[in-house]
Structure 1
Amino acid sequence: MRRCAWRGNARWRSAVGVGATASTRKSGKRMVLAGALMMIALASALATPPVRAQASGSPVHLAQLSAERTFEIPAQPLATALTLFGQQSGMQITVHGALVRDISAPEVRGTMTSEAALIRLLAGSGLTYVVADESTVAIEKPGQKNTDGATMLGPITVEGQRLAPRQAQIGALPAPYAGGRVATGGSVGVFGNRDAMDTPFSQASYTSKLAQDQNARTLDDVVQNDPAVRKGSSPGNGIEDFSIRGFEVTGRDFLLNGLPAVAPTNGAAMMVESVERIEVLKGPNALLNGIVPQSAVGGAINVITKRATDERIIQLSPDYAMDSQFGGHVDIGQRYGPGKEFGARLNGVYRGGDTPIDNQSREQRLAALGLDYQGKRVRVSSDLGYQYDDVDGVRRGLRVNAGLPVPDAPDNRTNYNNPFEYQTTEVFYGTVQAEVDIIPNVTAFATIGGNRIHQDFTTANLRISGADGTIAANSVRNVAYIFYGAAGNAGVRSTFDTGPVQHQAVLAYGRTWREWQSDQTAAVSLQASNLYNLTYSTTPPLSADFDEARKRQDIDFSSVVFGDTLSVLDERAQLTFGLRQQEVEIRRFDTTTGAITSNYNESALTPMVGILGKPVRNLSIYANYIEGLQEGSAAPTGTANEGEVLPPFVSKQYEVGAKWDLGRIAATLAAFQITQPSADTNPVTNVFEETGEQRHRGIEFNVFGEVTDGVRLLGGVTYIDAELTKTIDGANEGNEPSGVSPFHVVVGAEWDTPFLRGLTLMGRVTHDSSNYLDAANTQKVPGWARLDLGARYGFERANGKPIVVRATVTNVLDADYWVNSSSQLGLSEPLTFRLSASFDF
Structure 2
Amino acid sequence: MSIAAAMLLPLGAVAEEAKATKDQAESKKVLNTVKVQATALEANPNAQPGVPYKAQLSGDERHTRPIAETPQNITVLTKAEIEESGYTDLRAILDAQPGITLGTGENGNAFGDRYIIRGQEVRSDIFVDGLRDPGMTTRESFAVEQLEITKGPNSSFAGRGSSGGAVNAITKQATADYDYTSLTAGVGTDGYHRVTLDSNQALTDELAIRANLLTAKEDVPDRDPAYRERKGVAVSGFYNPTEEFEMTLDYYGLDAKDNPDLGSYLVGNVPNRKPADDAPVYAQKQDFLESDVDTLTARLKYRFNSDLRITNITRKGTSDNGYVATGARAATTNAKDPNGAYSTVTLSTHQGWQEVDYFANQTNLFIDKEIGGLKHEFIIGAEYTDHAVLNGNYTVTNSGQNCFTSNVAAANGWCVIDKSGKEIANINKVMNRNITKSTWDTDWAVKAKSLSIMDTVDLNDQWSVFAGIRADRFDFDLGTQSAALVKAKYDYSDTLTNSHLGVVYDINDVGNVYFTWSTAADINGGESDVGTSSGYGGTVIYNGSVAGAKPERSDNYELGTKWNLFDETLLLTGAIFQVTKSDVMEGANYDSVGTFNTGEIRVRGIEFGASGQVTDKLTTQAGITYMDAEVLESATAANVGKTISNFADLSVNVQLKYQFTEKFSLGGAWKYEGKKFAGQPDTAAVYTTLAATGNYYYAQPIPAYSVFDLFATYDFSKNLDLRLNIGNATDKDYYLAAYRSGSFVYKGDARTTRVTVNYNF
TM-score by length of 2: 0.80
What is the aligned partner in structure 2 of residue 167 from structure 1?
Answer: none
Distance 2:266 2:27 in 1: 69
Confirm or deny: 8 A CA contact 1:236 1:395 kept in the other structure: no
Is 1:674 aligned to 2:585, yes or no?
A: no
2:444 to 553, 559, 567: 553
Q: State the Cα distance separating 1:708 from its structure 2 match.
A: 1.1
Cα separation, 1, equivalents of 2:27 and 2:610: 36
The aligned residue for residue 268 of structure 1 is 137
Is it true that 1:497 corresponds to 2:370 in the alignment?
yes
**3-state SS of 1:358 partner:** coil
Larger Rg: 2
Partners of 1:515 and 1:551 within 8 A in 2: no
Alignment match, 2:285: 419
Aligned counterpart in structure 2 of residue 345 of structure 1, from 182, 196, 210: 210
Matched, 1:575 2:427: no
Aligned position for 2:720: 803
Residue 630 of structure 1 pairs with residue 519 of structure 2? no
d(CA) in 2 for partners of 1:203 and 1:281? 5
Q: SS state of the match for residue 645, structure 1?
A: coil
Matched, 1:793 2:730: no
SS of 1:482 mapped into structure 2 = strand
Report the CA distance between 1:196 and its aligned residue.
1.3
The aligned counterpart of 1:181 is 53
Match of 1:443 among 306, 309, 314: 309
Q: In the alignment, does 2:436 pair up with 1:543? A: yes
How big is the shift at 1:619? 0.9
Q: 2:645 aligns with which of 735, 738, 745?
A: 738
Question: Which residue of 2 is the match for residue 155 of structure 1?
Answer: none
Match of 1:659 among 548, 562, 584: 562
Aligned 1:751-790 pairs, distance under 5 A: 751-754=658-661, 757-773=662-678, 774-776=685-687, 777-779=697-699, 780-790=701-711
Local SS of the residue matching 1:745:
strand
Q: 1:267 to 1:563 in 2, by over 3 A?
A: same
1:199 correspondence with 2:70: yes
Structure 2 residues without counterparts, runs of 5 or longer: 1-25, 334-340, 399-412, 526-531, 679-684, 688-696
Distance of aligned partners of 1:135 and 1:767 in 2 relative to their CA distance in 1, 3 Å threshold: closer
Q: Secondary structure at 1:210's aligned position in 2?
A: helix
Tell me the secondary structure at the aligned position of residue 212 of structure 1.
helix
CA distance 1:256–1:819, change in 2 (3 Å):
same
The one of 749, 756, 759 equivalent to 1:836 is 756
Shift of 1:529: 3.7
1:406 to 261, 273, 277: 273
Q: For 2:72 and 2:738, locate their aligned partners in 1 and report how far apart those are by CA, in whole Å.
A: 27
**Aligned with 1:696 (options 603, 614, 617):** 603
Tell me, in whole angstroms, the C-alpha distance in 2 between the residues paired with 1:469 and 1:132.
93
Q: Verify the 8 A CA contact 2:475 2:491 in the aligned structure 1.
A: yes
Pick closer, same or farther for the CA change 1:284–1:301 going to 2, 3 Å: same
Where does residue 288 of structure 1 map in the other structure?
157
Matched residue type, 1:621 = V
Give the direction of change, closer, same or farther, for the CA distance of 1:194–1:470 in structure 2 (3 Å limit).
Answer: farther
Q: CA deviation at 1:611?
A: 0.9
Question: 1:200 deviation in Å?
Answer: 0.8
Cα RMSD of the aligned pairs, angstroms, is 3.4
| 2:358 aligned partner | 485
- Structure 2 CA distance for aligned equivalents of residues 436 and 216 of structure 1: 37
**In 2, distance between residues paired with 1:274 and 1:719?**
32
Q: 1:686 to 1:826 in 2, by over 3 A?
A: same
Which residue matches 1:380? 247
Using the TM superposition, give the Cα deviation of residue 481 of structure 1 relative to its aligned residue in structure 2, in angstroms: 2.2
Question: Which one-letter code corresponds to 2:758 in the other structure?
Answer: S
How many Å apart are 1:684 and its aligned residue? 9.6
Residue 575 of structure 1: SS of its match in structure 2? strand
2:33 is equivalent to residue 141 of structure 1:
no
What amino acid is the match of 2:365?
V
Specify the SS of the correspondent of 2:299.
strand
**SS of the residue 1:689 aligns to:** coil
Equivalences for residues 518-533 of structure 1 within 5 A: 518-522=391-395, 524=397, 526-529=413-416, 533=422
Cross-structure match for 2:259: 392
SS at match of 1:806: strand
Distance 1:590 1:231 in 2: 28
Q: Distance in 2 between matches of 1:397 and 1:645?
A: 41
Could you report, residue by residue, the CA deviation over 1:689-714 in whole angstroms, capped at 9, with x for unpaired residues? 21211110011100122111111122
Task: Say which SS state the counterpart of residue 731 (structure 1) adopts.
Answer: helix
Distance 1:426 1:640 in 2: 38
Q: CA 1:637–1:452 in structure 2 vs 1: closer, same or farther (change >3 Å)?
A: closer
Of 562, 567, 570, the residue aligned with 2:453 is: 562
Aligned partner of residue 616 in structure 1, secondary structure: coil
Residue pair 1:602, 1:647 contacting (<8 A) in 2 also: no
1:574 touches 1:613 (CA, 8 Å); kept in 2?
Answer: yes
Q: 1:704 & 1:176 partners in 2: Cα distance?
A: 11
Deviation track 1:730-775 (CA, whole Å, cap 9, x = no partner) reads: 1121011111111001122111114xx3111011111111122333
Tell me: CA distance 1:679–1:821, structure 2 relative to 1, closer, same or farther (3 Å): same
Aligned length: 665
Determine if contact 1:477/1:520 at 8 Å carries over to the other structure: no
Which position in structure 1 is the counterpart of 2:20?
none
Conservation of the 8 A alpha-carbon contact between 2:252 and 2:295: yes
1:152 is aligned to none
Contact 2:590 2:596 in 1 (8 A): no
Structure 2 CA distance, aligned partners of 1:240 and 1:206?
Answer: 20
SS of the residue aligned with 1:702?
strand
Q: 1:544 aligns to what SS in structure 2?
A: strand
Q: Which amino acid aligns with 1:284?
A: P
Residues 477 and 523, structure 1, Cα contact 8 Å, conserved in 2: no
Matches within 5 A, 1:117-266: 139=34, 141=36, 173-176=45-48, 179-187=51-59, 191-224=62-95, 226-233=97-104, 240-250=113-123, 252-261=124-133, 266=135
Rate the CA distance shift 1:399–1:563 in 2: closer, same or farther, 3 A. farther
1:348 corresponds to which letter in structure 2? L
Deviation string 1:446-472 (CA, Å, 9 cap, x unpaired) is 111021111221145544446999676
> Offset at 1:543?
1.0
Superposition deviation, residue 508 in structure 1? 1.3
2:153 counterpart SS class: coil
Displacement of 1:718 in angstroms is 0.2
The alignment status of 1:813 with 2:733, answered yes or no, reads: no
- Percentage identity across aligned positions? 19
Please state how far the C-alpha of 1:402 moved relative to its aligned partner.
8.9
Q: Distance in 1 between matches of 2:49 and 2:342?
A: 49
Say whether the 8 Å CA contact 1:307–1:343 is kept in structure 2: no
Which stretch shows the higher mean deviation, 446-455 or 192-201? 192-201
Q: Distance in 2 between matches of 1:600 and 1:393?
A: 37
The amino acid that maps onto 1:644 is A
Q: Residues 582 and 533 from structure 1, CA distance in 2 versus in 1: closer, same or farther, beyond 3 angstroms?
A: farther
What SS does the aligned partner of 1:197 have? Answer: helix
**CA 1:594 to 1:490, structure 2 compared with 1: closer, same or farther past 3 Å?**
farther
CA contact (8 A) 1:411 1:816 kept: no
SS state at 2:83 partner:
helix
- Is the contact between residue 362 and residue 389 of structure 1 (CA under 8 Å) also seen in structure 2? yes
Residues 577, 609 of structure 1: 8 Å contact kept:
yes
Cα separation, partners in 2 of 1:685 and 1:764, compared to 1, 3 Å: same
Partner of 1:706: 613
